[in-house]
Amino acid sequence: MTDQSGLSRAQVFLLYFVLTAAIASGIAIFSSASTITEMLQTATDGLFLPILLSLIAAFLLDPLVQFFEGEKIGRTGSIFIVYFLISMLILLLLLSIGSPNWEGMMQALKADFPRYFGRAIEYLNGLLMKAQEHFPFVKDYDLPEKMRQSAETFLGLILIHTPKSAMRIGSLFLLVPLFSFFFLRDSRRLMRGLISLTPNRYFEMVLDIYDHVSWQLTHFIRGRILEALIIGIVVWMGLSLTDIRYAPILGVVAGVTNLVPYIGPIIGMIPGLLIALVDLGMGGQFWWILCVYLLIAQVILDNFILIPILISRVSNLHPLLVILAIVMGGKLYGVLGMIIGVPIVSIINIIILEIRQYRRTFSPHTQIISERNKVT
Amino acid sequence: MNPFWSNIFRGSGYEDTLAYFLSTVPVFSKLKKRELNFLETIVHVRNYQKDEVIFEEGDIGSGMYAIRSGQVVIYTRDEHDRETEETVLESGDFFGEVALTASRPRIASARTTEQTVLVGLFRSDMLEAVRKHPAGAANILLGLTRVISDRLHHSQILIHELKRQQTGSDREHNQS
């Protein structure tokens, strides 16, 4: 340490210059930060979804890759084997069953959507009429008109985005396998590189905590995705037993919305019930569909079988936290944000729980040592 | 030899590689080259400044260190915070190996005395290695077991010796 008071005039001058330059550049960076973030946003605009999907794919494929990886076959080789097997499987499925006619279904749905919504609004109108007879003060509230407006804007949004998204899906087919290949191959090296940045003193602790957290996270994410997949398939199967149309799309909707706890399943079954109500009426088939959604998919499969097996109780979130996560996610990224908001909050929750657990588990040891030192 | 030819046949500098260094550490001395190359991918190389604390007594250990270059002093503290130097380790030595198999609090502290490069092998990486490359991991763990059982054997003999001295001195005490 040099003596602080012993600065020469030249040093003071230099210090003054450095500080001024630092402040000036700080202000410049701050003012240009908004343009920089804007640029970043434009640059990463279309990348969010492919990266998310390839991360999911990497998480799902990792156990398979580990299965093939061994003394003889390296990691890259085993990734190629897994890719080959999966493409074979998809090809086989396409050849044997034939692809479900997604495009036709989308077109039909686009045509049918106003019809379904019109029916729903009609039904709602009838309900409102009845309500107004009993409670006159509801009259001022023009609910059906509001709903019609929002439905029309929603439909417009879908119509505008479809051609764009067709191109985007094409690029997804290219990008997702590529990204997930690198995620699978280099994720370990990447994480090791990141961890090696920690200061020496905390290195062991960080490494240990990382190990615990990553174990928990892999199980949580894999469990969630498998759960959504199974629920989607079961709903698809259950619905295709009836005469309802769009069973595959409804299955996908049910699976994806199932990622959001508490609220997701309810929202996921609204379109199915709506279509059933309009097309099939209040018959036995409607009750069967309700039964598929509620009893089979949610109560029996999800609550009694999947959640206990796939997802540990540790990662349960408080309902209030779930709602907050959905609202905030929706503000940030729209519908996609609503779906992934809750998993991300659960991930943060798991990290915090693990760190706390780590500290609690190991604090007695340190106490013993310090007490031993006191005694001896 | 002609310097021209010796330049060509100097070898690929294998002696400078991490794998060669690991083969000189007693724990890993019996490993084959293939296993050494594998070991190279799971260890962490850490750079330390002079007088930097590596771990303190009571910290939760999660692995062992081998000294690639530099010097490390192992010490304990008594109740008045006075340090007692236990041993000084040079390059090629290793320490902290007990923590590799189970998380135990460290029983002594370690500090560098000069600029030091350490090679750390940690439990989480070892567990992953056991899953992915059972044979290689088994050889590494066998080497570790060999070193630890050597040490156990040594201390057993020491205890025996001490006991004999104790009983001898007791007998003398009783006779007098």
Q: State pLDDT tens for residues A221-273.
A: 788 888 888 888 888 888 888 877 777 788 888 888 887 777 778 888 888 88
Q: CA distances (Å), A173 to each of A29, A168, A307, in order?
A: 38, 9, 31
A204 has a pLDDT exceeding 70: yes
B52: domain CATH number is 2.60.120.10
User: Domain for residue B104, yes or no?
Assistant: yes
Q: Is the pTM of this model over 0.90?
A: no
- Look up residue B99 and give its DSSP letter: G
Composition of chain B by helix, strand, coil, percent to 5: 50, 25, 25
Closest CA of chain B from A309, distance in Å: 22
Closest CA of chain A from B54, distance in Å: 6
Check A70 against B123: CB less than 8 A apart: no
**Full residue range of the structural domain in which residue B34 is found:** 17-170
- Is residue B38 within a helix (H) or strand (E), and if so which, with residue range? helix B33-42
- Is residue B111 within a helix (H) or strand (E), and if so which, with residue range? strand B109-112
Q: Looking at the partner chain, which of B52, B63, B133 has a beta carbon nearest the beta carbon of A204?
A: B63
CB pairs below 8 Å between A and B: how many? 66
Give pLDDT, residue A352.
84
Half-sphere exposure of A64 (CA within 13 A, CB side): 17
Chain A interface residues facing chain B, Cβ-Cβ under 8 Å?
Answer: 66, 69-71, 192, 196, 200-201, 203-205, 207-208, 210-211, 362, 365-366, 368-370, 373-374, 376
Give pLDDT, residue B80.
77
Q: From chain B, pick out residues whose CB is under 8 angstroms from the CB of A71.
A: 133, 135-136
Give pLDDT, residue A259.
78
User: Domain for residue B176, yes or no?
Assistant: no
Average pLDDT, chain B: 85
B33 has a pLDDT exceeding 70: yes
How far, in Å, CA of A41 to CA of A47, rounded?
10
B31 has a pLDDT exceeding 50: yes
Q: From chain A, pick out residues whose CB is under 8 angstroms from the CB of B104.
A: 365
Contacts with B100 (C-beta within 8 Å, 6 or more apart), sequence order: B63, B64, B121, B122, B123, B126, B144
Q: State pLDDT tens for residues B145-162.
A: 898 899 899 999 999 999
A138 has a pLDDT exceeding 80: no
Give pLDDT, residue A270.
82
Q: Looking at the partner chain, which of A66, A200, A366 has a beta carbon nearest the beta carbon of B58?
A: A366
Average pLDDT value for residue range A295-308: 76
User: Domain for residue B59, yes or no?
Assistant: yes
Q: How confident is the model at residue A376 (pLDDT cuts 50, 70, 90)?
A: very low
Check B105 against A366: CB less than 8 A apart: yes
Check B55 against A204: CB less than 8 A apart: yes
A314 has a pLDDT exceeding 60: no
A373 has a pLDDT exceeding 60: no
Give pLDDT, residue A1.
42
Q: How confident is the model at residue B6 (pLDDT cuts 50, 70, 90)?
A: low
A372 has a pLDDT exceeding 60: no
User: Domain for residue B8, yes or no?
Assistant: no
User: Domain for residue B9, yes or no?
Assistant: no
Average pLDDT, chain A: 76
Q: How many domains does chain B have?
A: 1
How many other C-beta atoms can be found within 10 angstroms of the C-beta atom of residue A31?
9
A107: nearest Cα among A237, A249, A216: A249
Which of A195, A200, A202, A360 is the best residue to mutate to test the B interface, defined by the most B CB atoms within 10 Å of its own CB? A200
User: Domain for residue B96, yes or no?
Assistant: yes
Give pLDDT, residue A3.
46
